[in-house]
């Protein structure tokens, strides 16, 4: 497993839990606005100091009385064939596991859920179905995204959908389309774009939506969900 980073404690990434976050290198998307290019682009990943699995699990041993959960994110964790075994080791240490995913691998997601390896899932929904390729930066099978959405909605675990709202990528109407696609669902979060160290350097020059713009978008979709908030 290619571990490119470890946040030793987080109070916000795993709702209601004190957790750590492990960052896995590699992603099958190239979202131009992504500000984690050190976890996405091979040339940037190569420059990152790595953490061995032994170092990571040795760390977890020292935190068993302090942390409730582990957030597994990337990059995109489900591109790694070793992911199920990696999470099994975490679960054997009695930690709860949250997975952050782009939903491009419904088969992997279904397997992890079937094996009861996940306690919470956050799925990033990049765009309405018709605009997914432009948002993801690669050719993507929209049916896979739709399947992952349905898998989560049919599951018994806690989950959330979220979208990073990006000027030139998303209009208000786009977010409304996404919301209608996802509904009914319990939780949907909007996240504002950060023009920092983006995969496409051109996006570092773009100005994020104003808080007023995001509130206007939220107001249009809030009736579709139990919880619809801006982060």
Identify whether the C-beta of residue 210 lies closer than 8 Å to the C-beta of residue 230: no
DSSP H helical ranges for the chain: 42-45, 53-61, 83-92, 106-114, 132-136, 142-154, 172-182, 211-221
Whole-number pLDDT of residue 79: 98
Each residue's pLDDT tens digit, 47-97 = 989 999 999 999 999 999 999 999 999 999 999 999 999 999 999 999 999
- d(C-alpha 194, C-alpha 203), whole Å: 9
pLDDT for the residue numbered 98: 99
* Paired residues of 189 in beta bridges: 162, 229
Mean pLDDT of the chain: 97
pTM for this structure?
0.96
Per residue, the 3-state secondary structure of 122-145, as one string, reads EEECCCCHHHHHHHHCCCCCHHHH
What is the pLDDT at residue 187? 98
Residues 172-188 have pLDDT tens digits of 999 999 999 999 999 99
State pLDDT tens for residues 10-61.
Answer: 999 999 999 999 999 999 999 999 999 999 999 999 998 999 999 999 999 9
- pLDDT (tens digit per residue) in 120-154: 999 999 999 999 998 999 999 899 999 999 999 99
Closest CA to 101 of 84, 135, 125: 125
**Torsion sign, CA atoms 26, 32, 36, 42:** positive
Nearest-angstrom CA–CA distance, 32 and 20: 27
Collapse the DSSP code of 62 into the 3-class scheme (helix H, G, I; strand E, B; otherwise coil) and give the result: coil
Compute CA distances 162 → 2, 10, 21, 78, 159, whole Å.
25, 19, 18, 18, 10
Domains for the chain: give ranges and CATH numbers: 3-165 (3.20.20.70)
């Amino acid at each position: 497993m290619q571990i490119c980073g470890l946040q030793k404690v987080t109070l916000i990434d795993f709702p209601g839990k004190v957790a750590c976050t492990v960052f896995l290198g590699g992603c099958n998307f190239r979202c131009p606005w992504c500000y984690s290019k050190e976890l996405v682009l091979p040339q940037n990943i190569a420059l990152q100091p790595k953490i061995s699995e032994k170092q990571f699990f040795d760390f977890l041993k020292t935190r068993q009385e302090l942390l409730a959960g582990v957030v597994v994110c990337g990059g995109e964790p489900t591109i790694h064939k070793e992911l199920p075994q990696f999470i099994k080791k975490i679960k054997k240490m009695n930690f709860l596991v949250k997975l952050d995913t782009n939903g491009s691998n419904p088969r992997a997601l279904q397997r992890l859920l079937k094996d009861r390896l996940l306690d919470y899932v956050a799925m990033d929904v990049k765009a309405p179905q018709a605009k997914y390729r432009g948002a993801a930066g690669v050719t993507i099978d929209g049916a896979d995204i739709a399947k992952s959405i349905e898998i989560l909605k049919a599951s018994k675990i806690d989950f959330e959908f979220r979208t990073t709202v990006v000027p030139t990528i998303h209009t208000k109407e786009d977010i409304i389309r996404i919301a209608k696609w996802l509904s009914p669902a319990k939780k949907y979060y909007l996240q504002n774009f950060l023009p920092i160290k983006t995969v496409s350097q051109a996006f570092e020059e773009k100005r994020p939506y104003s808080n007023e713009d995001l509130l206007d978008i939220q107001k249009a979709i809030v009736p579709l969900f139990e919880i619809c908030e801006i982060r």
